[in-house]
Structure 1
Amino acid sequence: MVEAWRIFSVAGPVLVAAIGHLVSGTVREGYMDEIFHIPQTQRYCAGEFWAWDPKITTLPGFHLLGAAWGSSLGYFLGSLGILSEEGPCSTTLLRAMNSALLIANARLLYLIHAKVQTHNHKGAQKDEHHSFLLSMCLTFFPLHFFYGFLYYTDVPSLTFILACLLATLHSRHWLAGLAGASAVAVRQTNVVWVSFILYVGILDRLRCGQGELGLAPLVELAKHACRQKWMLLQVFFPLLLVPSCFVLFVVINGGIVVGDRDAHKPVLHLAQLGYFFLFAVGGLSPALLDWRKLHGGLRRLVSSTMMCRLALGVVLSVVCTTLVRGTFAHPYLLADNRHYTFYLWRRVLQYVHVRMALVPVCGLGMLLLLESLLERCSPLWVVGYLGCTAATLVPAGLLEFRYFVVPFILAALHMPSPSRGSIFALASLFIAVDAATLYMFLYRPFYWPDGSTARFMW
């Protein structure tokens, strides 16, 4: 295992640096959201900390992190006499931060998966080699890998969520609180996932939620938490501080987003859950599409209590119904033909009969995903996961696959370890999509009527 990490420590940075050089050499100017993020970070690099672009919706954590990275790396390169004319916070150097975080995320994914597989008592444990292979595979997850070469919030957002989860698993709660606060400072919706990590930590501390899925375990959890409230407050105070402070921020700010509020108002976009399950069953198909899992899920459903069957039936019905009736077409989705989702909506999802045809696939995907999670996680863990996934996706009016990254990665980490064949099949799928999307982005530009260059991207 040590030898594998030694190879990755050389091959990983070389591959990432080569692709990063290709991207920055081809797309020299900031693109899409970069036209807001890069100038804002460069203002911070210049010491203009009171300057702010009102079109930016997130808190300034991402830009402060980028300014610290760009200034430090720029100073180091300047001391070697190899700093470019663009200065310390150039587009290339800022993109390099996300590329470096790709490598960091690979290590975090490995450490979390290895800990989760040994930490959870359900099922057989897998060796570290499986954790290494899966972490490499998930590093190439297309929505993660692609944005590792642009200056977007997605990669550092995932980095801090993973760091928060890992610290909580090791009972390093002050470190978890710091990582959680950083995650929220990069992207506000991460407060939901920090709250989920807090919830999982409490479940583990109280050692409850291992029984049948239903209302009774939730009631028992609430009673147990009330009895142990002072102990829980003492242990989890750093993590609890993050959502508490965020609530105060929302009250003072008058909303979640910082800028461009008119285009980012919360809506009731119920179809997002259906889209996510379709996305998950497609992205994890080599690991999920197993007859034994489907048979196990059906057997679990038949042998469960009437209340459990009723609850699952209601959830499945609601998710599938909202896929048909709960759609919302955001103006950005309809207007921006640079995103793949524009074509997905225009040619597929806008038609009711197509969405109706996807309902069985959605139901199957949900059943397979939940069955896989229940093999390793408690029913209360799964309930919390579904609730937090809904809390992050349903209020989002825009169909954006980037919003699926955190719940997708968390599901992949907590499922039973796939076979090596499944991991290689999954990695092959991811790498093929990575190659195709990078090729389209770099070498198949098109031009808008005003003469500006447009590129296809997620």
Structure 2
Amino acid sequence: MGRLAVAAAVAAWAIPIAALVDSIVPEPYMDEIFHVPQAQQYCRGDFLTWDPMITTPPGLYYVSLVYVASLFPGAWMIRLAETFDALCSTAVLRSTNVIMAMVCAVLFHDLLLCIRPGIGTRKATIYAILVALYPVHWFFTFVYYTDVASLATVLAMYLSCLKKRFWVSAMFGAFSILFRQTNVIWMIFVAANGAISYTQDIYLKDNVSHESSESAHQSNKVVPGKGSKITAQGLRRRRTNSPMRKKGAVSESTKLYNSLAEEVWDISLKLWNSKCEVLIAFAPFAIVMVAFIAFIIWNGGIVLGAKEAHVVSPHFAQFLYFGLVSAAALLPWHFTPSRALDLVRWFGKSKTCSSLAVSMALGLSIIAVHFFSIAHPYLLADNRHYTFYIWRKVIQVNWVMKYILIPLYVYSWFSIINILGKSQTRVWVLSFILSVALVLVPAPLVEFRYYTIPFIILVLHSPIIGTGKLLSLGFLYVIADLFTMVMFLFRPFHWEHEPGTQRFMW
């Protein structure tokens, strides 16, 4: 019932708005001028022609082909190439992402129930609908970009891995790379944490089976005295089935460690002791990784086209931007008096270490902002992105503003780490931080849509909040969505050429 309600809720607003977008903006918009013609080439059966401005693999176009063929099976079966090409209109291609948005919401619902089984179907449904309204994800539901389908495959990969369907998970991981190459980082993140969980389960099963064998051995011993055999067996049985013993066995596999180094050492030891089982179970991910490395060698880099505009750069400020944007998008979690007090108490547990950590974070952030803050030509030239205005009107409004924002960056990241640390191990939190850095730091262009996948993972692992706070956040999302759509639909653009750049003006 929860899945159906989520899918119906997303469809209820996505389908009418998609129709409105297509009626007002019927022609390809922004990067659609590259994606739509390329998909139409595929619809004509031309799989060899490639637009050199497209940087991502053709996963979206293959999905659109399957989708259009399912809508118009007759045209596909009789292979009327010209007719089928006409069916791949901008509106039909855009509707691919409407379907993908429904899939994303359902997958998020199932993931939340898997990660937090006590949340309940009703709360999981509200969460899934809220995520579908997340403004960045919501906007790209109605244009022909790769982001929504990319998110769907990553969520499917994550869910399959949590359910220990590793071959299926690796298959979705391979599909996700066909939408966006950086998804290989999320595949490694999912596989690594899946392997750790897998070894913990092996360790727990071994302990339980060992204790069971000891119990069986002890129960067969005869205790001297009248009726002692029965008494000993009954006593052993009660001890074996005791909830305290079960609790102890579980806590042994998820025990608290005194330090990150201790946790890493324990996990490494368990992985080494279970290396054969882990290698066999996670071989599918290794196959995908080998294929991806072969692609990079063959292609001469990670991006397909426009390589000069997507050169890997040390954009450490991008990592800071993600922290603030994600914390602001989760306002009830991060920017409340109770959250600030919680952080103060957290720092108060070890004042020396906390002072050192804060000092290091501030120092590294200053270095990142001063030396590794990149203004990509696309960011400066195209005023159809929010980042264009944020960069010019906020970050670059004067020379000191970018430094004033540093405490907010640091606060946001400490809040994120503290929240994740309440439900996840230190190694999991560290792997998440490293994954975010590996995905975002090499990207020279500031794009909020690059933040969507780590943002969704962050929501999945953040504490559950009350329905009232969820509804208030949903209301803010709806306001932001409506504002974005009004700006998109009713403010026409025209071209204005300037020396050395190309700007879109309205």
Does the TM-score normalized on the shorter chain lie above 0.5? yes
Determine the C-alpha separation between the residues in 1 that align with 2:25 and 2:503: 10
Structure 1 residues 50-81: Cα deviation after superposition (integer angstroms, max 9, x where no partner): 111111111111211122222332336999xx
The 3 A distance-change label for structure 1 pair 301 and 228 is farther
CA contact (8 A) 2:315 2:444 kept: yes
CA contact (8 A) 2:153 2:173 kept: yes
Amino acid at match of 1:225: L
Q: CA deviation at 1:317?
A: 3.8
* Ranges in structure 2 where 5+ consecutive residues have no aligned partner: 201-252
- The reply to whether residue 54 of structure 1 matches residue 52 of structure 2 is yes
Per the alignment, residue 193 of structure 2 pairs with 200
The 3 A distance-change label for structure 1 pair 293 and 30 is same
- The reply to whether residue 191 of structure 1 matches residue 203 of structure 2 is no
Per the alignment, residue 104 of structure 1 pairs with 103
Amino acid at match of 2:125: F
The 3 A distance-change label for structure 1 pair 292 and 240 is farther
Q: CA deviation at 1:109?
A: 0.7
| SS class of match (1:352) | coil
**Mean alpha-carbon deviation: is it higher for 40-49 or for 294-303?**
294-303
Determine the C-alpha separation between the residues in 1 that align with 2:88 and 2:504: 24
CA contact (8 A) 1:274 1:320 kept: no
The 3 A distance-change label for structure 1 pair 357 and 309 is closer
CA contact (8 A) 1:101 1:155 kept: yes
Determine the C-alpha separation between the residues in 2 that align with 1:234 and 1:305: 45
| SS class of match (1:220) | helix
| Superposed counterparts of 1:159-198, under 5 Å | 159-198=152-191
Per the alignment, residue 437 of structure 1 pairs with 484
Determine the C-alpha separation between the residues in 1 that align with 2:361 and 2:267: 21
CA contact (8 A) 1:196 1:388 kept: yes
Q: CA deviation at 1:9?
A: 4.3
| SS class of match (1:448) | strand
Determine the C-alpha separation between the residues in 1 that align with 2:86 and 2:276: 52
Determine the C-alpha separation between the residues in 2 that align with 1:86 and 1:449: 33
Q: CA deviation at 1:90?
A: 1.1
Q: Which of 289, 294, 297 in structure 2 is aligned with 1:243? A: 289
Determine the C-alpha separation between the residues in 2 that align with 1:212 and 1:289: 29
- The reply to whether residue 372 of structure 1 matches residue 370 of structure 2 is no
CA contact (8 A) 1:273 1:393 kept: yes
The 3 A distance-change label for structure 1 pair 16 and 139 is same
The 3 A distance-change label for structure 1 pair 389 and 441 is same
Determine the C-alpha separation between the residues in 2 that align with 1:224 and 1:313: 35
- The reply to whether residue 416 of structure 1 matches residue 463 of structure 2 is yes
Per the alignment, residue 122 of structure 1 pairs with none
CA contact (8 A) 1:294 1:367 kept: no
**Mean alpha-carbon deviation: is it higher for 61-70 or for 255-264?**
61-70
The 3 A distance-change label for structure 1 pair 316 and 236 is farther
CA contact (8 A) 2:32 2:145 kept: yes
- The reply to whether residue 449 of structure 1 matches residue 496 of structure 2 is yes
The 3 A distance-change label for structure 1 pair 453 and 274 is closer
Structure 1 residues 187-209: Cα deviation after superposition (integer angstroms, max 9, x where no partner): 00000011100111022123367
Per the alignment, residue 327 of structure 1 pairs with 373
| SS class of match (1:134) | helix
- The reply to whether residue 346 of structure 1 matches residue 389 of structure 2 is no
The 3 A distance-change label for structure 1 pair 9 and 265 is closer
Determine the C-alpha separation between the residues in 1 that align with 2:372 and 2:259: 27
CA contact (8 A) 1:198 1:239 kept: yes
| SS class of match (1:163) | helix
Determine the C-alpha separation between the residues in 2 that align with 1:308 and 1:188: 37
Determine the C-alpha separation between the residues in 2 that align with 1:280 and 1:230: 39
Determine the C-alpha separation between the residues in 1 that align with 2:31 and 2:383: 15
Amino acid at match of 2:27: E
Structure 1 residues 289-345: Cα deviation after superposition (integer angstroms, max 9, x where no partner): 243333333333343597787567534542354234421111111112222211211
Per the alignment, residue 113 of structure 1 pairs with 112
**Mean alpha-carbon deviation: is it higher for 45-54 or for 157-166?**
45-54
Structure 1 residues 259-287: Cα deviation after superposition (integer angstroms, max 9, x where no partner): 11111110000101111111012111122
Determine the C-alpha separation between the residues in 2 that align with 1:194 and 1:85: 35
Amino acid at match of 1:233: L
Per the alignment, residue 71 of structure 1 pairs with 69
Per the alignment, residue 92 of structure 2 pairs with 93
CA contact (8 A) 1:333 1:398 kept: yes
Q: CA deviation at 1:13?
A: 1.8
Q: TM-score, normalised by structure 2?
A: 0.82
The 3 A distance-change label for structure 1 pair 21 and 77 is farther
**Cα RMSD for the two superposed structures:** 2.6
**Percent identity (aligned):** 33
The 3 A distance-change label for structure 1 pair 134 and 29 is same
CA contact (8 A) 1:113 1:131 kept: yes
Q: Which of 149, 154, 176 in structure 1 is aligned with 2:147? A: 154
Q: TM-score, normalised by structure 1?
A: 0.90
Determine the C-alpha separation between the residues in 2 that align with 1:139 and 1:40: 27
Q: Which of 13, 16, 23 in structure 2 is aligned with 1:25? A: 23
Per the alignment, residue 361 of structure 1 pairs with 408
**Mean alpha-carbon deviation: is it higher for 262-271 or for 340-349?**
340-349
| SS class of match (2:342) | helix
The 3 A distance-change label for structure 1 pair 114 and 305 is farther
Determine the C-alpha separation between the residues in 1 that align with 2:473 and 2:484: 17
Q: Which of 292, 298, 322 in structure 2 is aligned with 1:252? A: 298
Q: CA deviation at 1:372?
A: 1.2
Amino acid at match of 1:140: L
* Ranges in structure 1 where 5+ consecutive residues have no aligned partner: 119-124
| Superposed counterparts of 1:216-235, under 5 Å | 216-235=262-281
CA contact (8 A) 1:56 1:258 kept: yes
Determine the C-alpha separation between the residues in 2 that align with 1:453 and 1:395: 25
| SS class of match (1:257) | coil
